[in-house]
Amino acid sequence: MNKQQKQAIHQQLDEQLVELSSAIANLELQRGSLTPDTSIGRISRMEAIEAASVNSTKMDNYRRREQALLNALERLNKDPDFGYCEECSNVIPAGRLALMPEATRCVGCAES
C-alpha cells in the first residue's frame, strides 16, 4: 500500500469518525429528552421506552464502530501490514478499505 492510498484511507477514517461522533452526540441529546415523564400518557410512555431501547442499541453499534475505526487508524499509522489480509496476506482492495477501513481480511476470507 503506497503513501497516497494510506492518506486516502486516513481521510476516510477521519470523516467517518467525525460523522460518528456527531451521530453519537445527537443520540445523547435525544436520550436526554426521553427521561420518563409522568405527564405523558401510557402509550406515549411505552413509545418512549421503546425508542430509548432502540437508541441504546444504536448507541452500542456506534460505539463499537467508533472503536473499530480508532483501531484501524492506529494500525494504519503503526502497522506496516495494514491493508493486507491477516489470513491470506493478500492485499485488501482499496475499495473495500475505503468502505470498511476497519477490515482486516479480504472479502474472500471474510466470507469463508
Residue ranges binding Zn ion (CB under 5 A): 85, 87-88, 106, 109
The residue among 37 and 79 lying less far from Zn ion, judged by its C-beta, is 79
Give least dist CB 49 to Zn ion, A. Answer: 44
The residue among 19 and 81 lying less far from Zn ion, judged by its C-beta, is 81
Give least dist CB 85 to Zn ion, A. Answer: 3
Give least dist CB 99 to Zn ion, A. Answer: 16
The residue among 22 and 90 lying less far from Zn ion, judged by its C-beta, is 90
Q: What's the CA gap between 22 and 31, in Å, rounded? A: 14
Q: Which of 70, 111, 105 is nearest to 84 (CA)?
A: 105
Give least dist CB 16 to Zn ion, A. Answer: 23
Q: Is 67 helix (H, G, I), strand (E, B) or coil?
A: helix
* DSSP structure string for 11-63: HHHHHHHHHHHHHHHHHHHHHHTTS--TTS-HHHHHHHHHHHHHHHHHHHHHH
The residue among 10 and 105 lying less far from Zn ion, judged by its C-beta, is 105
